[in-house]
Amino acid sequence: MHTLARRLLWISFLLAAPPVAAQTYDPSYPTCLQTFGIAGNTIVCSYASMDQCRSTAWGGAAQCITNPYFAGAPDRTSGRHRRR
């Protein structure tokens, strides 16, 4: 009887938990803006340069960071079409 009550309690905790939003890094851009606020922190990776990001972050509770998942430009020297 106790195990059934524990299982029901555990299921009720899982169902009552609020949903969590996942943060994603856009691999198309090299710079991200991280903002800090009362409601939480956000990261937006949509800046082509550090200067562009800094102009947006200036005066607020924010910082510019390098995107750790930036894919970069495709490597044109690899593959079958390599020039010699």
In tens, the pLDDT along 2-23 reads 688 777 777 776 677 666 555 5
Answer whether 0.85 is exceeded by the pTM: no
Q: Is residue 1 part of a domain?
A: no
Q: Is residue 51 part of a domain?
A: yes
In tens, the pLDDT along 29-63 reads 999 999 999 988 999 999 999 999 999 999 999 99
Q: Is residue 3 part of a domain?
A: no
- For residue 66, give its domain range: 19-71
Q: Is residue 48 part of a domain?
A: yes
Q: Which residues contact 45 (CB under 8 A, 6 or more apart)?
A: 25, 26, 28, 29, 31, 32, 33, 67
Q: How many domains, in total, are found in the chain?
A: 1
Q: Is residue 59 part of a domain?
A: yes
